[in-house]
């Protein structure tokens, strides 16, 4: 087992290096220039732009720039933002709490809805409950978040005036009131993201359950006289959860990565909105750092999912 993990980690190194090369080259070849906004300003002479490019090493050949970046990254230096003139890691750490709070809550909400609904629907396939759950799930994942987000804003902020739609990290309250405000402002984004996730996850849980529920050992368990609840929870669910765990594990990087569209709509200062604004302003060090962190997380959670398989189903051996 530990040997397996070690081997996987070793394999991860070349793949991460490969990913970083591809990311770096793509970003370097992409059109645009972090200082392009200066070019349209008649006040700024072209020499300034040239001096800035030289100062931030943008004129070096691409392989040198990559080696600089790699060397710095190995020393724990994530880079220096062109646009904000501060260290990229500070910038990312500033954005992390909001993302973890909102996207994490949305994932939990999605799980809280998807697992009970999916399981219950699978125990009574094609019943009225199943039909309704299915229909809602289809509606849910057919509606994009930018649509439901704006719909929610129109209903709950504009018409009913119940909830704020600008997320603020600077709530002027303490204690319980602060908690309540934090919850209040997160209701809409969490609901938008959570319901969207829940919709597809419900379908997934249901079909995973249906695959297992018809197997012979379930009939055996029932024949032994075990109650419905025990059969479903102890016998069916444990086996049906393997694919669900994969799905959840692979979605974890997304929790850190934020939800670009939803963060933009509700002005949540998360990683997703940092990424999009950095892309728009060609702030390559930030884009590079954020995407590279994603890559690491994807590799890491793939590994975790593989390890979890072995724990959930001892028949799967890790060699």
Stretch that binds another protein, among 6-14, 27-35, 105-113, 202-210 (CB under 8 A): 27-35
CB 191, min distance to another protein, A: 18
Task: Name the 3-class secondary structure at 247.
Answer: helix
Residue pair 192/262 in contact by the 8 Å Cβ criterion: yes
By CB under 8 A, tell whether 47 contacts another protein: yes
Report yes or no: 251 and 310 within 8 Å, Cβ to Cβ.
no
Distance separating alpha carbons of residues 238 and 222, to the nearest angstrom = 16
Token code pair at residue 78: 């994530």
Q: Name the minimum Å distance from CB 176 to another protein.
A: 21
| Distance separating alpha carbons of residues 123 and 135, to the nearest angstrom | 17
Q: Does 11 bind another protein (CB under 8 A)?
A: no
Contacts to another protein from residues 274-313, by CB under 8 A: 274, 277, 280-282
**Contacts (Cβ under 8 Å, ≥6 apart) of 89:** 78, 289
SS3 assignment, position 83:
coil
Nearer to another protein, 35 or 309 (CB): 35
Distance (Å, whole) CA 76 – CA 79: 9
Is 45 a binder of another protein (CB under 8 A)?
yes
User: Which range binds another protein by CB under 8 A, 26-34, 105-113, 122-130, 188-196?
Assistant: 26-34
Task: Please identify, among the stretches 50-58, 126-134, 206-214, 239-247, the one whose residues bind another protein according to the rule CB under 8 A.
Answer: 50-58
For the segment 143-172, give every residue that binds another protein (CB under 8 A).
Answer: 153, 157-158, 161, 164-166, 168-170, 172
**According to CB under 8 A, which residues from 65 to 104 bind another protein?**
80-81, 83-86, 91, 94-95
d(CA 268, CA 102): 9
- Note whether 269 binds another protein by CB under 8 A: yes
State the nearest-atom distance from the C-beta of 194 to another protein, in Å. 21
What does the DSSP 8-state code read for residue 233?
A: I
Q: Which two tokens stand for residue 61?
A: 């050949």
Calpha distance 260→50 (Å, rounded): 32
Summarize as ranges the residues that interact with another protein (CB under 8 A): 31-49, 51-52, 55, 80-81, 83-86, 91, 94-95, 153, 157-158, 161, 164-166, 168-170, 172, 264-265, 267, 269, 273-274, 277, 280-282
């Amino acid at each position: 087992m530990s040997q397996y993990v070690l081997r996987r980690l070793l394999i991860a190194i070349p793949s991460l290096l490969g990913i970083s090369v591809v990311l770096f080259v793509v970003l370097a070849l992409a059109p645009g220039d972090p200082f392009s906004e200066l070019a349209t300003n008649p006040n700024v002479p072209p020499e300034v732009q040239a001096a800035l490019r030289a100062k931030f090493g943008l004129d070096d050949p691409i392989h040198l720039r990559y080696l600089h970046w790699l060397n710095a990254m190995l020393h724990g230096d994530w880079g220096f933002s062109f646009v904000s003139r501060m260290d990229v890691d500070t910038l990312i750490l500033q954005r992390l709490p909001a993302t973890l709070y909102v996207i994490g809550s949305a994932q939990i909400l999605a799980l809280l809805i998807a697992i009970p609904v999916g399981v219950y629907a699978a125990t009574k396939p094609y019943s009225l409950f199943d039909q309704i759950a299915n229909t809602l799930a289809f509606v849910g994942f057919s509606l994009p978040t930018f649509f439901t987000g704006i719909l929610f804003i129109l209903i709950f902020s504009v018409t009913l005036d119940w909830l704020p739609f600008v997320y603020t990290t600077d709530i002027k309250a303490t204690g319980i009131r602060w908690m309540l405000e934090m919850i209040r402002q997160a209701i809409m984004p969490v609901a938008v993201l959570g319901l969207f996730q829940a919709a597809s996850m419900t379908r997934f849980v249901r079909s995973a359950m249906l695959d297992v529920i018809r197997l012979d050992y379930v009939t055996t368990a029932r024949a032994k006289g075990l109650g419905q609840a025990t059969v479903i929870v102890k016998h069916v669910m444990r086996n049906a959860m393997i694919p669900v765990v994969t799905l959840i594990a692979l979605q974890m990087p997304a929790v850190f990565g934020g939800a670009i569209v939803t963060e933009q709509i509700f002005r949540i200062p998360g990683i997703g909105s940092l990424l999009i604004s950095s892309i728009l302003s060609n702030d390559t060090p930030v884009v590079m750092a954020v995407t590279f962190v994603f890559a690491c997380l994807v590799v890491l959670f793939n590994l975790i999912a593989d390890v979890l398989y072995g724990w959930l189903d001892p028949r799967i051996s890790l060699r």
